[in-house]
Amino acid sequence: ECPKVKLNNGVEIPIVGFGTWQSKPEEVVHAVEYALKEAGYRHIDCAWAYDNEKEVGQGIRNSGVPRSEIFLTSKLWCTHHHRVEAALDETLANLGTDYLDLYLVHWPIHLNPNGNNYKFPTRPDGSRDVLLDWRIRDTWSQMEAVLKKGKVRAIGVSNFSQRVLERDLLPYAQVVPAVDQVELHLYNPQLALVAFLKSKGIVPQAYSPLGSTNSPLLTDETATAIAAAHGLMPADVLLGWLVARGIVALPKSVTPSRIAANYKGALAAAAALTEEELERLDGVAAGGKQKRLITPPWGVDLGFDNWP
């Protein structure tokens, strides 16, 4: 069984979850079914914006694993900050469930819901149509309300930097976010953010832990050397390092052999890696490899130092 981390409200989250970003709808049905039924995952990470929630829900039902045994996360999209409960209801209907285990604010920005494109509104100059005056605390109070109603078991954030948390959210929050899900991997280890989150009782979650599509991480010399020393795959080391550091890892795959290997390998590597190896992995980025792989297209609007 997968080790769990306790969130700040006592709810337990399996430390390895199954990612679904960039999984095509027709593929994700089978991937989710396989992850639950064959590979042993009990934690699925979704989002309204991934355009595949209905198929994730179908995969969950196909697996035969009871809903109560699954930790299910989804995220509030940027055009929905003014109507959190309605957006949550749509996600619940998509997934075919009546509650989420965790609901996240996907990004710390409100995109214009009446813009020229419902998901990615763009201004005439080509920049993203961000509502710059929106206060994130007004999103968060709605998140707190759906928590209170019992529609979700925990609430958290995604892509929030320390600066945004300290300036715009924590001073106003009744409920401290349970997690912050960010781009976190060998080349973007977020050491300072992770230390800050831990000091606040917020669990870090790693998206793109394998470095996403065409990943440079799988051939990294430190990761491959450490993997070889243990008879593991580089992917195992990339995930096991996170797990050993108490970071929730969310590897994505639609390939059955990889879905199974990532789950087993993450737990095996977390147990096998020595403290010295973990420290070497912590230091890879600082040794000249620091690189963000996912860049938000609205970064220019607010300044890139507003997110991790």
Catalytic center residues: 50
Give the nearer residue to ligand A2P in terms of CB position, either 254 or 281.
254
Listed ranges 5-13, 40-48, 99-107, 203-211: which one lies at the site for ligand A2P (CB under 6 A)? 203-211
Return d(Cα 1, Cα 131) in angstroms, integer: 44
Q: Is 75 in the site for ligand A2P (CB under 6 A)?
A: no
Which residue number, 168 or 183, has a Cβ lying nearer to ligand A2P? 183
CA angle 158, 162, 167 (to 5 degrees): 105
Contact pattern from residue 207 through residue 226 relative to ligand A2P, giving x for each residue in contact according to CB under 6 A and a dash for the rest: -xxxxxx-x--x--------
Subset of residues 226 to 265 that bind ligand A2P, contact rule: CB under 6 A = 235, 251-255, 258, 261-262
169: Cβ contacts below 8 Å, ≥ 6 apart: 108, 136, 137, 140, 157, 160, 177
Dihedral of the CA atoms 297, 300, 301, 302 (nearest 10)?
110
Of residues 268-307, which lie at the interface with ligand A2P (CB under 6 A)? none
Q: Directed axis angle between helix 221-230 and helix 234-244, to 10°?
A: 90
Nearer to ligand A2P, 223 or 261 (CB): 261
Binding mask 11-50 for ligand A2P (x = CB under 6 A): --------x-------------------------------
CA dist., res. 1 & res. 180, Å (int)? 24
How far apart CA 109 and CA 79 sit, in angstroms, is 9
Q: Are 142 and 175 in contact (CB under 8 A)?
A: no
**Contacting residues toward ligand A2P, per CB under 6 A:** 19, 208-213, 215, 218, 235, 251-255, 258, 261-262
